[in-house]
Structure 1
Amino acid sequence: MKLQQAKRHQVKLRLGLSGASGFGKSYSALLLAYGITNDWSKIAIIDTENGSASLYSHLGDYNVLSLEAPYSPERYIEAINTCEASENIEVIIVDSITMEWSGSGGCLDMHSKLGGRFADWSIVTPRHQSFIDAILKSNCHVVTTVRKKMDYSMDRDSNGKTKVIKHGLKDITREGFSYELTVDFEIINDKHLAKVSKDRTGLFTNKPEFIINASTGKKLIAWCNEGISIEQITQEIKNCSSIIDLKHIYDKHSSVQSEIKSLVLRRKEELEALKNQLIDQKEIVNPIKTENNGIDS
Structure 2
Amino acid sequence: MSRITDHVNNRSQRANDFDNGDFTFRPASKDKAKARVAIQGVSGSGKTWTGPATANGLSEGRRFAVIDTERGAASLYVGINGIQFDVLQMHRYDPRDLKKALAAAAQAGYGTVLIDSLSHFWKGTDGTLEQVDKAKSRYGNNSFAGWKEGTPMQNEMIDGLLTFPGHVVVTMRSHTEWVLQENDRGKKEPVAMGMRAEQRKGVEYEFGVVAAMDIDNTLTVLKSRCPALHKRVIKEPDGARDIAKPLLDWLNDGATAVDPAEYIDRATAADATYKGLLALYGEVESHGLTATPMLAPDGEATSLGDYIRARGTALKNAS
What TM-score results when the alignment is normalised by the length of structure 2?
0.65
Q: Does 1:220 align with 2:243?
A: no
C-alpha distance in 2, partners of 1:176/1:187? 18
C-alpha distance in 2, partners of 1:72/1:232? 28
| Paired amino acid for 1:201 | C
SS at match of 1:23: coil
C-alpha distance in 2, partners of 1:61/1:232? 25
Find the counterpart in structure 2 of residue 150 from structure 1. 176
Find the counterpart in structure 2 of residue 205 from structure 1. 230
Find the counterpart in structure 2 of residue 63 from structure 1. 86
Find the counterpart in structure 1 of residue 218 from structure 2. 193
**Structure 1 residues 22-48: Cα deviation after superposition (integer angstroms, max 9, x where no partner):** 21112101111121122142x111000
C-alpha distance in 2, partners of 1:126/1:76? 14
Structure with higher Rg: it is: 1
C-alpha distance in 1, partners of 2:194/2:55? 28
Find the counterpart in structure 2 of residue 39 from structure 1. 61
Gaps of 5+ in 2: 1-22, 179-191, 263-278, 293-303, 309-319
C-alpha distance in 1, partners of 2:42/2:193? 15
Find the counterpart in structure 2 of residue 11 from structure 1. 33
Find the counterpart in structure 1 of residue 201 from structure 2. 175
Residues 241-280 of structure 1: pairs in structure 2 closer than 5 A: 256=287, 258=289
Q: Judge conservation of contact 2:193–2:214 (CA < 8 Å) in 1.
A: no
**Structure 1 residues 111-152: Cα deviation after superposition (integer angstroms, max 9, x where no partner):** 223335321100111011111111011101100110011369
| Paired amino acid for 1:124 | G
Q: Tell me the CA shift for residue 167 of structure 1.
A: 9.4
| Paired amino acid for 2:214 | I
Find the counterpart in structure 2 of residue 136 from structure 1. 162
C-alpha distance in 2, partners of 1:45/1:5? 37
Q: Judge conservation of contact 1:74–1:131 (CA < 8 Å) in 2.
A: yes
Q: Tell me the CA shift for residue 219 of structure 1.
A: 1.1
Q: Identify the structure with the greater helix proportion.
A: 1
2:130 paired residue among 97, 109, 117: 109
| Paired amino acid for 2:55 | A
Identity of aligned residues (%): 26
SS at match of 2:233: coil
| Paired amino acid for 1:83 | A
SS at match of 1:203: helix
C-alpha distance in 1, partners of 2:37/2:129? 24
Q: 1:75 to 1:231 in 2, by over 3 A?
A: closer
C-alpha distance in 2, partners of 1:139/1:175? 25
After superposing on structure 2, the runs of 4+ consecutive aligned residues of structure 1 that deviate more than 4 Å are 1-4, 231-234, 259-262
C-alpha distance in 2, partners of 1:75/1:64? 15
Residues 285-296 of structure 1: pairs in structure 2 closer than 5 A: none
Give aligned pairs, total: 234
SS at match of 1:68: coil
Find the counterpart in structure 2 of residue 124 from structure 1. 150
Q: Judge conservation of contact 1:96–1:147 (CA < 8 Å) in 2.
A: yes
SS at match of 1:173: coil
Q: Judge conservation of contact 2:111–2:167 (CA < 8 Å) in 1.
A: yes
Q: Judge conservation of contact 1:151–1:170 (CA < 8 Å) in 2.
A: no
| Paired amino acid for 2:95 | P
Find the counterpart in structure 1 of residue 52 from structure 2. 30
What TM-score results when the alignment is normalised by the length of structure 1?
0.70
Q: 1:255 to 1:26 in 2, by over 3 A?
A: farther
2:72 paired residue among 27, 51, 55: 51
C-alpha distance in 2, partners of 1:185/1:212? 13
C-alpha distance in 1, partners of 2:152/2:259? 35
